[in-house]
């Protein structure tokens, strides 16, 4: 790893890998495919957690914790589930020095063990709905891994709910997709397309899977959150039954939904530039970095007096004062640009004289993002600057997605555009057409967006009549 | 499990087991020795986490996340560590359908893998100290388990720090013991004795282990948090070296410290009574429950109007309105007493007339804890009531510990008192004396408290001169 970050156009993949490490978000662990989330990365994740948890609680959910280990036999109770997950399992076969009678799976997801507990807890319609979320770690034995995007162990939240009717459960599924969309747009400034996954791409064991899809800086798609309507599949496999209002025994309807540390990858690749990260102000661990500038002790005394006053005034923001004496201001500028701090405040001797200070916006590097502002009303000025940066990041990402989304006129053009963009095309609904695109272009169907143009068209693959438009894209 | 909770004097152990489940704090998982922490229990844990995390951050620590899996060879690098932990390991031998070349241990604690990462990150004295904490789950293959007190998987925080000097590291160890003491006393109202563990009882791989010990309602001791000065043991095993100010390569000095969901057991057993839980107001998921009382629709309208106003006024507290219509107020009283809500507010038609309402303190059941208060200045009144309850719980627990701590005059009396209390006795420092007590009385040395009476005495076991007093007690 050299000192200089590769540019995105040189090597997007290396830009990403090196940036994650240089910015000290994460590091490789000494176990293949596992990561260490470093303090800066974990602080970002904590902010993501808080923003989501607030929304979960506001929609009536509570948190709990279910075991890490799941008996192998549990997974086998839902046929599609075990088929989907069995190639990816980490299995504990020895405990306390002895071979276990039944091997334990390290959870890849918790529908099965939570389903078992729900069958114990739910007896009557009065016990419903059950609206539980869990923050934790899961393990999927992936062969090709990348920090945040795909690791053996990752951190996430998984919501698991049980309802008396199919309609209620489907409403919950869509409500949580909405929560994810709202979080992505308004906290992370990541524009996403909420939509339905094709049957082929749905979660193993789900009746319907919904997703939010985001376009990364290289135009590839990233699935950044999913919400599944599980029908009665898991309720039947685990016997989650309740007495309804008419005293009839019924199976419950369940959902599950998750968003993981993968989202950090989405933030990096949506906003980052050749200088490094650009973190959205609402989630940034450090929103404002203050860099004092002085040449001698006399200047230092005068500058630091203002610096300390500014720091005190900004106590309601996440502020870091970089008071290191062994680095030059220029070195510090580069470092905080690499680490994506949204706003830099520079204070030098001239600022002390003039009663001013310099704002440097991370979203507009160089002169374009620099302005000199009076030292008055600082909290208001910083609030405004952060809002502007947040809005700019979102607008820019949305414009980028629009500019790189195509409506190809035929299959030939689709094959071309998906090499460096998304195709938004009519699809007849046939899995064969979907498979053909994947095989021949490496683009997968990302989703059938909830928002449809209406009307009809011809399937981009087979030219038969089609009622829905879908996104095709190469994806992470 | 019958409906009625056994009394503590009937069967303390069953009282505990049933209470944990009836109060819906936790449930047994379908994997031996594992637990499900239910929403009420997890909300308590979240409050514990926040109270601790605040203190960790105020003392300069940051959070991060290290992998769940540790290569078996890592544990073997520190001799005492592997000897201590190897009987308790859960081991992954299969990943992605294939037998692993090197088995992976599910972390029982993370000194080894964190030590490995620190050796990568720490190069110079400028990189020190490293002050990292991790919130997560660990697994120890225990044979005899009990909900919260000892489970195969449990939740905790583990702090891991590295320092340039032994003195700094030992100061950190004691600082975190202080943080735990402050948390136990001021948040959980659990009086604890901070002290040093004997060599025999110290953490596997530590140079010195400190503990906070609490007395449960049956007079047994519970170790509720530990802080370890690891010397250079792990730094040498994992090659954590740095260039000091004189450009000399040195091994770092490290510490680790942890507090787990076991602390929930301490709260239950310190404060609970025969009616159920009594949760300290500062940590209680619900601080105030409002129970409306009415007999007919007319009364209901009038009562609910006041109830809603009261609820709005108390928005800064964690308030639950129990508006269920299918239960009697009496049923609700019992339920919230079982679940330990510190303050109950009852509002009936007479209260509407008189402009009053009833406060029922959970720490003083029955008439003693009941008072009628005016509907004015409610936030102040509730603040005051919760403070009084918090203080009463602490004082009562401290008085209980004092009343059950003895200064036996000889070994014979020690053998007796430790059957239903703690002995505070002189000890010569000889491990043989310690072992004799354990073997003959089942009491272990809980700690050498930091606060010593001074002076000298005769060892309670061998009558040789002794300079320190220690606690002996039967323990969980």
Residue B470: the pLDDT is: 98
Tell me, yes or no, if B1 comes closer than 8 A to chain A by beta carbon.
Answer: no
Q: What is the mean pLDDT of residues A278-290?
A: 98
Residue B3: the pLDDT is: 76
Tell me, yes or no, if A153 comes closer than 8 A to chain B by beta carbon.
Answer: yes
Contact check, Cβ <8 Å, B96/A153: no
DSSP class per residue in A45-75: HHHHHHHHHHHHHHTT-EE-B--SEEEHHHH
Q: How far away is chain A from the Cα of B260, in angstroms, using its nearest Cα?
A: 14
Contact check, Cβ <8 Å, B153/A90: no
Contact check, Cβ <8 Å, A90/B113: no
Residue B2: the pLDDT is: 54
Residue A261: the pLDDT is: 98
Contact check, Cβ <8 Å, B68/A153: yes
Residue A59: the pLDDT is: 98
Angle between helices B378-403 and B262-271 (to 10 degrees): 90
- Domains in chain B with CATH codes: 12-271 (3.30.930.10), 288-401 (3.40.50.800), 405-473 (3.30.110.30)
- Residue in the block written with tokens 């920090």: A147
Share of chain A above pLDDT 90, in %: 98
In 3D space, the residue among B191, B336, B341, B339 whose CA is nearest the CA of residue B270 turns out to be B191
Q: What is the mean pLDDT of residues B362-377?
A: 94
A-B CB pairs within 8 A amount to 164
Q: What is the mean pLDDT of residues A372-385?
A: 97
- Residue in the block written with tokens 């540790």: B70
Q: What is the mean pLDDT of residues B57-72?
A: 98
Q: Give the distance, in angstroms, between the CA of residue B267 and the centroid of all CA atoms in the same chain.
A: 7
Prediction ipTM score:
0.96
| Helix/strand number for chain B, H first, E second | 14, 25
Write the CA distances from A196 to A184, A450, A459, integer angstroms: 17, 7, 18
**pLDDT, tens digit, for every residue of A60-103?**
999 999 999 999 999 999 999 999 999 999 999 999 999 999 99
| Closest-CA residue of chain A to B68 | A153
Interface test with B, best of A1, A63, A87, A95 (most B CBs within 10 A): A95
Q: How far away is chain A from the Cα of B467, in angstroms, using its nearest Cα?
A: 40
Residue A2: the pLDDT is: 54
**pLDDT, tens digit, for every residue of B379-391?**
999 999 999 999 9
Query: What are the structure tokens assigned to A82, written together?
Result: 């075990």
Q: How far away is chain B from the Cα of A209, in angstroms, using its nearest Cα?
A: 24
Residue B50: the pLDDT is: 98
Q: Is the pLDDT of residue B37 over 90?
A: yes
Instruction: Sort out which chain B residues have CB atoms less than 8 A from A245's CB and list them.
Output: none
Q: Is the pLDDT of residue A423 over 90?
A: yes
Q: What is the mean pLDDT of residues B443-456?
A: 97
What confidence tier does B197 reach under pLDDT thresholds 50, 70, 90? very high
Considering only the beta carbons, identify the residue of A38, A74, A120 that sits closest to B64: A38
Taking the C-alpha atoms of residue B361 and residue B369, their distance in angstroms, rounded to an integer, is: 5
Interface test with A, best of B45, B64, B239, B286 (most A CBs within 10 A): B64
Q: How far away is chain B from the Cα of A373, in angstroms, using its nearest Cα?
A: 32
In 3D space, the residue among A122, A114, A120 whose CA is nearest the CA of residue A70 turns out to be A114
Residue A173: the pLDDT is: 98
User: Of chain B residues 278-297, which have a CB less than 8 A from chain A?
Assistant: none
Residue A429: the pLDDT is: 96
**pLDDT, tens digit, for every residue of B275-314?**
999 999 999 999 999 999 999 999 999 999 999 999 999 9
Q: Which residue has the higher pLDDT, B3 or A321?
A: A321
Query: What are the structure tokens assigned to A38, written together?
Result: 């470093």
The Cα angle at residue B29 between residues B137 and A101, in degrees rounded to 5: 95
Backbone φ, ψ for residue A5 (5° rounding): -70, 135
Instruction: Sort out which chain B residues have CB atoms less than 8 A from A120's CB and list them.
Output: 27
| Closest-CA residue of chain A to B138 | A68
Specify which residues B361 forms β-bridges with: B343
Average pLDDT of the residues of chain A:
97
Taking the C-alpha atoms of residue B78 and residue B74, their distance in angstroms, rounded to an integer, is: 8
* Contact between residue A45 and residue A188 where contact means Cβ atoms under 8 Å apart: no
Taking the C-alpha atoms of residue A104 and residue B103, their distance in angstroms, rounded to an integer, is: 15
User: Of chain A residues 16-75, which have a CB less than 8 A from chain B?
Assistant: 27, 29-31, 34-39, 41-43, 45-46, 62-71, 74
Instruction: Sort out which chain A residues have CB atoms less than 8 A from B30's CB and list them.
Output: 71, 74, 113, 116
Tell me, yes or no, if A399 comes closer than 8 A to chain B by beta carbon.
Answer: no
Q: Is the pLDDT of residue B441 over 90?
A: yes
The pTM of the full predicted model, rounded to 2 decimals, is 0.97
Considering only the beta carbons, identify the residue of B46, B64, B97 that sits closest to A63: B46
Considering only the beta carbons, identify the residue of B42, B67, B136 that sits closest to A36: B67
* Contact between residue A16 and residue A26 where contact means Cβ atoms under 8 Å apart: no
| Closest-CA residue of chain A to B39 | A64
Share of chain B above pLDDT 90, in %: 98
Q: How far away is chain A from the Cα of B243, in angstroms, using its nearest Cα?
A: 17
Rg of the Cα atoms in chain B: 25
Q: What is the mean pLDDT of residues A174-184?
A: 98
Q: Is the pLDDT of residue A267 over 80?
A: yes
Long-range CB contacts for residues B389-393, cutoff 8 Å, separation at least 24: B389/B280, B389/B281, B389/B342, B389/B343, B389/B361, B389/B362, B389/B363, B390/B189, B390/B280, B390/B281, B390/B282, B390/B342, B391/B189, B392/B363, B392/B364, B393/B189, B393/B270, B393/B271, B393/B278, B393/B280, B393/B363
**pLDDT, tens digit, for every residue of B396-434?**
999 999 999 999 999 999 999 999 999 999 999 999 999
Considering only the beta carbons, identify the residue of B31, B39, B139 that sits closest to A62: B39
**pLDDT, tens digit, for every residue of A301-356?**
999 999 999 999 999 999 999 999 999 999 999 999 999 999 999 999 999 999 99
Q: What is the mean pLDDT of residues A399-414?
A: 98
Considering only the beta carbons, identify the residue of B43, B91, B153 that sits closest to A62: B43
**pLDDT, tens digit, for every residue of B206-253?**
999 999 999 999 999 999 999 999 999 999 999 999 999 999 999 999
Residue B365: the pLDDT is: 82
């Amino acid at each position: 790893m050299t000192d200089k970050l590769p540019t995105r156009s040189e090597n997007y993949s290396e830009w990403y890998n090196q940036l994650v490490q240089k910015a000290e978000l994460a590091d490789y662990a000494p176990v293949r495919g596992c990561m260490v989330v470093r303090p800066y990365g974990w602080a970002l994740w904590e902010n993501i957690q808080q923003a989501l948890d607030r929304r979960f609680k506001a929609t009536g959910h509570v948190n709990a914790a279910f075991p890490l280990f799941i008996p192998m036999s549990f997974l086998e109770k839902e046929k599609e589930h075990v088929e989907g997950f069995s190639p990816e399992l980490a299995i504990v076969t020895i405990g306390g020095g002895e071979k276990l009678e039944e091997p334990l799976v390290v959870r890849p997801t918790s529908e099965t063990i939570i389903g078992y507990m729900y069958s114990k807890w739910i007896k009557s319609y009065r016990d419903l709905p059950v609206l539980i979320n869990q923050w934790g770690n899961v393990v999927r034995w992936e062969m090709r891994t990348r920090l945040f995007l795909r690791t053996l162990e990752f951190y996430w939240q998984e919501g698991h709910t049980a309802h008396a009717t199919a309609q209620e459960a489907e409403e919950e599924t869509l409500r949580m997709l909405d929560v994810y969309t709202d979080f992505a747009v308004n906290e992370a400034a990541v524009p996403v397309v909420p939509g339905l996954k094709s049957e082929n791409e749905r979660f193993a064991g789900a009746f319907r899977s919904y997703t939010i899809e985001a376009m990364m800086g290289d135009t590839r798609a990233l699935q950044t959150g999913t919400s599944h309507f599980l029908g009665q599949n898991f309720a039947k496999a685990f016997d989650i039954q309740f007495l309804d209002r008419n005293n009839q025994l019924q199976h419950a309807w369940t959902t599950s939904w998750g968003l993981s540390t993968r989202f950090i990858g989405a933030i990096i690749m949506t906003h980052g530039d050749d200088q490094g990260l650009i973190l959205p102000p609402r989630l940034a661990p450090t929103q404002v970095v203050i860099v004092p500038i002085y040449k001698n002790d006399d200047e230092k005394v005068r500058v630091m007096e203002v610096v300390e006053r500014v720091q005190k005034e900004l106590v309601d923001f996440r502020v870091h004062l970089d008071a290191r004496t062994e680095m030059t201001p220029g070195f510090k500028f580069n470092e905080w640009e690499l680490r994506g701090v949204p706003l830099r405040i520079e204070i030098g001797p001239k600022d002390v004289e003039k009663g001013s200070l310099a704002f440097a916006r991370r979203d507009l590097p160089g002169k374009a993002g620099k302005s000199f502002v009076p030292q008055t009303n600082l909290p208001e000025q910083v609030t405004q600057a952060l809002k502007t940066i947040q809005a700019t990041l979102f607008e820019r990402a949305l414009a980028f997605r629009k500019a790189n989304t195509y409506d190809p006129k035929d299959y030939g053009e689709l094959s071309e555009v998906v090499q460096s963009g998304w195709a938004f095309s009519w699809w007849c609904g046939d899995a064969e057409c979907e498979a053909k695109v994947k095989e021949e272009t490496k683009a997968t169907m990302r989703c059938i967006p909830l928002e449809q143009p209406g009307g009809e068209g011809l399937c981009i693959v087979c030219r038969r009549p089609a009622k829905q438009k879908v996104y095709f894209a190469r994806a992470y």
